[in-house]
Amino acid sequence: MSRLSRWRGLLGIAGSILRHERLRTGLAVGGVAMAVLASVLLVSVGIGVVDTGQQQFDQAGRDLWVSGGPLEIQPGSVGSFENSLVNAHQVEAQLNAREDVATADPFVFQTVYISSNGSEYNTVIGVGAASTPNAIPVSEGRAIEQGDIHYGDGNYNGPMVHEVIIDQRVADQYNISVGDTLQIGATISVAQEHEFTVVGISNMYSSTVGAPTVVMPSSELQEISGLTASDRAAMITVKLRDDANATASKAALERAYPEYTIRTNQEQLQATLADQAIVIASGASLVLLAIVAGVLLLTNLQLAFVARYRETFGALTALGTSQSSLILVIVINTVCIGILGGLLGAALSVPGVWVLNEITLTITGFENVVSLSDRVLVGGIGISVLISLIGGVAATLYLGRAQPLKHLR
């Protein structure tokens, strides 16, 4: 028998088994597909989160991030956030005086109450920014043109402009637009005393924090949050001049401000991801569990397949079929299942990514977080081949130990 005829016969036997064992084949293909689907989606989420974070840092247009410590949540306190950098405006002025710094802006984060009618209040994230006039790009209306004039000479005795930029979700929720007003404060009583005019709409910060936001000058958010005594901020962002070197400027600032943590964009992103180490480890564990589950399912089905057809394998052996040919039948059968499962899992990944992106957009406000690439799809199919090879090896080892001739009647 020629080699081609032999392979044609073995493929025919393997194909016949796949057709006649439809339930087993369907379960095996489905198990591999689910393992591939889970792996592809989880890896795509991880890649998408990193890419989204990098895009947010790039869009921020900043080079260095100065902080006094992590931004901590303090349930039960006014504003809920512990802004750890004190004397923020003084540090801002010192940074702006440096030759290599173009602009430095403090950022304050607080939970605030807002209302459009003075009776129903909800909480959103208040962002204190806009120290530099026209610092925030808007999709409608205008930016806060006067900047942070309320800080004045350091005693918060300058006028409050009472202007706010909202994101699109706040605009839709309250059915308000540019020119309308909102009552805003860290407590309801404070909110009732401060009415802000909506001057613009921007999703710049809502896409960063993943929640509805209102943006106002940092000193005004400090005023309505009770942070003026210590002049607290979460961080100060620094944009360097075009001819400045970020690494050298960072080193100089670290010498000048040893009490603060200073990071480049890449370091800030890495620190953000490091804070989510448990989540990342959980995702990696789920990928491993999905692969292990696929291996166990396919291996179990292939072992059951060998046990069920041991008499058939015994008859083929008695007719002169070599052990290697029987092994090839099992391997071909298993690899076919793996490839079919891999292709099905890859095909399901496309609508799966779309569904995950819609869910993520609804919950967090981030768009296109889950990023599907050709490399990930190819890796998913590679996982299916790996699963099938492990299952095939286990089945062939079992066949060798079963000694098919002993099962002939």
Rg of the Cα atoms in the chain: 31
Helix count (H) and strand count (E) of the chain?
13, 12
Tens of pLDDT, residue by residue over 196-206, are 999 999 887 77
* Alpha-carbon gap, residue 139 to 58, rounded angstroms: 19
pLDDT at 244 over 50: yes
Closest of 313, 319, 320, 339 to residue 403, by C-alpha: 313
Helix/strand/coil for 117: coil
* Alpha-carbon gap, residue 386 to 372, rounded angstroms: 21
Mean pLDDT of 314-327: 63
Q: Which long-range contacts (CB under 8 A, 24 or more apart) does 82-87 make?
A: 83/108, 83/109, 83/110, 83/227, 83/232, 83/233, 83/234, 84/232, 84/234, 85/232, 85/233, 85/234, 85/235, 85/236, 85/260, 86/230, 86/231, 86/232, 87/230, 87/231
Pairing relationship of beta strands 195-201 and 163-166 according to DSSP bridges: parallel
Looking at residue 132, what is its pLDDT? 62
CA-based max dimension of the chain: 101
Cα distances (Å, whole numbers) of residue 49 to 14, 54, 167, 199: 43, 9, 21, 31
Tens of pLDDT, residue by residue over 230-241, are 888 888 888 888
In degrees to the nearest 10, what's the CA dihedral of 391, 393, 397, 402? 50
Looking at residue 208, what is its pLDDT? 65
Tens of pLDDT, residue by residue over 159-218, are 898 999 998 889 988 889 999 999 999 889 999 999 999 999 988 777 666 678 899 988
Mean pLDDT of 107-122: 88
Closest of 62, 54, 59 to residue 266, by C-alpha: 54
- What is the value of pTM for the model shown? 0.60
